[in-house]
Chains A and B, each alone.
Chain A
C-alpha cells in the first residue's frame, strides 16, 4: 500500500498534484531569504497559483478557457456525492494499492472514494459496445522499471485542475519507484483534443505504507449550506 508522503516541502506540495513548473517555482520561493518569514502554506499557495496560471492555463482550449476555473460549488462530487472519475482520482491524496492478478490484470484501489479500477496486462481492446465510464478502459505494460498504463473510454468529468475533460481524453500514467523502494512517483499525461491545446503533465508522490488500510467511504452527505464563487 502507498499513502501520503511525509511532511517535506516538496513532497507535500506534490501529495495532491504538482507540475515541474510549480515545483521549480516553489523551490525558488523557498531559496529566497526574503520569504523566510512567510509560512510554508503561503509559498505553496503561490507556487500553486503559478502552475495553474503559467502551466495549465496556456494548455487549455479556447472553449475550456470560457469556464476556467470551474466553481468548486458546482462539482458533482461535492453537490451529489458523485465519485470522482479517473482524471481526478489518479492524483487524489491518500492511499493507492496496486495488486497484480496473474498475467492478465492489475487491480488498483484508491483511498479517495474507495475507488477501484482494472488495468489489463494482455493489451485487450475496449469492447466496442462499452460506453465511456468514470474509470475508463486501461491497459498496462512494464517498460524496464516503470509501470505504464494507458486509459481511454473515459466519461466526461472534471479534472484536478478545475476543468472538464471530454470523452476523448487519453491518460498515460508512468509509475516509478525510488531506488530504496520507499517512494512511488507518478507522471501522468492528459491528452484531450477537445479541451486541451497541448498535453498537460502532472506529477505526484506517495510513500510506502504497508500498515495503512483504506477505510470505507460511507459518510458522504449532500451539502445544504454553501456559497458559490468561493
Chain B
C-alpha cells in the first residue's frame, strides 16, 4: 500500500451543494472543495451513522509509516438512497478512496469516490444527482433548439 496524493483543481458538485441555501453540517470550515486527494489503504472501521457516516482506513506512506485516515460521508438517508448499508464497506477491505482534503491537510477527507480491489467504483450518491439533472438540462436545451 502506498500513499498517493493526487491534488486536482476542480469545482466539485459537493462543494457548491454544501455551500448553497442551507449550510447543513458546515462542510466549508473543514474541507477544501477546490482540491481532491486520493489514498489507498485497508479499512479498519465503517460507522453507518448520523449526522455523517465515518470510516477509518490505514494508509502506508512512502516511508512505510501507517497513517490512520478518517473519511467522512453523507448521513444515513443519503447513503441509503444510494443503496448503501452498514455492510457496504467492511473492515479489512482494501480501498482506493478519493475526496476533498481538509484545509490543514490533516489525514482526513470528505468522500467523493472509492474503488474496490476488483475495480468496482462507487461514487457519492449526491454527485450522481447532478448528473441526472444535467441530463434533464440537455433535453431541455434540445427541445428549446427544436422550437426555434
Name the contact of A217 in the complex, choosing from B23, B47, B51 (C-beta under 8 A). Answer: B51
Closest to A223 in B: B30
Q: Which residues of chain A come closer than 8 Å to B137, judged between CB atoms?
A: 9, 30, 36, 40
In Å, the complex CA distance between A95 and B50 comes to 13
A219 in contact with B28 (CB, 8 Å): no
Tell me, yes or no, whether B4 is within 8 Å of chain A by CB.
no
CB within 8 Å: A-B pair count: 129
B29 in contact with A12 (CB, 8 Å): no
In Å, the complex CA distance between A3 and B75 comes to 14
Tell me, yes or no, whether A85 is within 8 Å of chain B by CB.
no
A residues contacting the other copy or chain, number (CB 8 A): 53
Q: Which residues of chain B come closer than 8 Å to A103, judged between CB atoms?
A: none
In Å, the complex CA distance between A78 and B16 comes to 18
A220 in contact with B23 (CB, 8 Å): no
Q: Which residues of chain A come closer than 8 Å to B103, judged between CB atoms?
A: 226-227, 230
Interface-facing stretch out of A42-50, A126-134, A142-150:
A42-50
A33 in contact with B144 (CB, 8 Å): yes
B residues contacting the other copy or chain, number (CB 8 A): 43
A114-B50, A230-B28 as given contacts; A16 in contact with B75, CB under 8 Å: no
A215-B77, A225-B106 as given contacts; A41 in contact with B49, CB under 8 Å: no
In Å, the complex CA distance between A161 and B30 comes to 20
Q: Which residues of chain A come closer than 8 Å to B16, judged between CB atoms?
A: 41-42, 44-45
Interface-facing stretch out of B36-44, B58-66, B88-96, B126-134:
B126-134
Q: Give 1 or 0 for each of B1-29: 1 = CB within 8 Å of chain A CB.
A: 00000000001010011011111111011
Q: 18 interchain pairs (CB within 8 A)?
A: A7-B129, A9-B133, A16-B22, A30-B140, A33-B141, A33-B144, A39-B11, A40-B133, A40-B137, A73-B26, A75-B23, A95-B77, A113-B51, A160-B22, A218-B49, A220-B51, A223-B29, A227-B29
Closest 5 CB pairs of A and B: A16-B22, A219-B49, A78-B26, A73-B29, A215-B76
Supply 17 further A-B pairs (C-beta < 8 A) apart from A40-B137, A44-B17, A219-B52.
A3-B77, A9-B133, A16-B24, A30-B140, A39-B11, A40-B130, A41-B16, A41-B130, A42-B16, A44-B16, A48-B20, A78-B26, A215-B75, A218-B50, A219-B50, A227-B104, A230-B29
